[in-house]
Amino acid sequence: MTEFRRVQIDGVARTVTVENGAFTWIDGSRHVVDNVVHLPPAVPTKVICVHLNYRSRLDELKRQQPPAPTYFWKSVSCLNGHRGTVVRPANCRFLNYEGEFVLVVGRTTRNITPEQAPDYIAGYTIANDFGLHDFRDTDENSMVRVKGSDTLGPVGPALVTDWDFRNKRLRTLIDGRVVQDANTNDLLWDPHYLLADLARTITFEPGDMILTGTPANSRPIEPGSTIVVEVEGLGTLENRIASAEIAVPSGFGAQPSTSDGVQSIALGSDFRKA
């Protein structure tokens, strides 16, 4: 497996190959990868996410498996990097983490079969598909603000080639405490299927991303916390949560909500215990 990262040094962004935790920069200097600014490891034209793709999440929400995957878009402008800050608006309460792994497209893709999909995949990386569920009542069908608000799309730290997604452990930790612990064998639809399914009607370009879903126990996270998503063979994605100094403006547009519908998603099985 080869590990590629997009990093920024002195305002210059480049993709580098990491070996033994270090890489060579364009001027010949050697850098330790932990000491540089990370960007998302690819530059997508589109980011698509699958709604429910782990049996544990279906069971937690007491949902039936749909006959086929359903999807939503995550805005490119929400993308964030490894060690980037995720910002919760001051008047919002339900910012949920969702640890998952990501398929990154390697070449133009249209009308392929699941069996052909590996030839169109550049590699895989990690995401934390944050959701601002305070807007769930108004954005249930589109997820525009829930999933697409600024900073809510950390991806990284690396694009790893030749990674086998089967039987890999996925964990999410808040301040060192494990809050999600799953295995990719719990997936309903594997990434080869997802790419082929979507590419029946959508043309994918190099760098495009498909987020493959999260297991059970997505919950709200509080500002001041540090969250890490670990995926076996892909590394760790770390981010800090902060509260914005300003609130979502009132007086027009939808306002953050704390309805039962919002809380049932944000709190999962904990809502029914209340």
Q: For 49-60, what is each residue's pLDDT tens digit?
A: 999 999 999 999
What's the confidence (pLDDT) of residue 254? 83
pLDDT value at residue 272: 60
pLDDT band at 251 (very low <50, low <70, confident <90, very high): confident
Q: What is the mean pLDDT of residues 253-274?
A: 84
pLDDT in the model for residue 268: 87
Which pLDDT does position 273 carry in this prediction?
59
Burial class (CB in 10 A: 0-12, 13-18, 19+), 101: buried
pLDDT tens-digit readout, 236-249: 999 999 999 889 89
User: How many Cβ atoms are within 10 Å of 208's Cβ, its own excluded?
Assistant: 26
Q: In this model, does residue 274 exceed pLDDT 60?
A: no
Average per-residue pLDDT for the chain? 96
> HEC profile for 132-175?
EHHHHHHHCCCCHHHHHCCCCEEEEEEEECCCCCCCCEEEEEEC
Count of Cβ atoms closer than 10 Å to residue 212 Cβ: 25
CA angle, corner 219, sides to 87 and 104, nearest 5? 70
Three-state DSSP class for residue 91: coil
Q: Do residues 263 and 94 lie in contact, with contact meaning Cβ atoms separated by under 8 Å? A: yes
pLDDT at 264 over 60: yes
End-to-end CA distance of the chain: 46
- Whole-prediction pTM: 0.96
Return the C-alpha torsion angle 146, 126, 46, 33, nearest 10. 120
Buried residues in 119-128 as b, exposed as e (16+ CB within 10 A) = ebbbbbbbbb
Q: How does residue 192 score in pLDDT terms, banded at 50, 70 and 90?
A: very high
Sequence-ordered list of residues with C-beta below 8 angstroms from that of 227, at least 6 positions apart, any chain? 86, 97, 128, 172, 173, 174, 221, 238, 239, 240, 241
CA distances from 216 to 43, 53, 62, 91, 179 (A): 29, 10, 11, 26, 9
174 vs 265: which has the higher pLDDT: 174
Q: Quick one: how far is CA 104 from the chain centroid?
A: 12
pLDDT of residue 215: 98
pLDDT digits (tens, 9 = 90+) for 5-42: 999 999 999 999 999 999 999 999 999 999 999 999 99
71: pLDDT strictly greater than 80? yes
pLDDT of residue 33: 96
Condensed to tens digits (0 to 9), the pLDDT of residues 115-170 reads 999 999 999 999 999 999 999 999 988 999 999 999 999 999 999 999 999 999 99
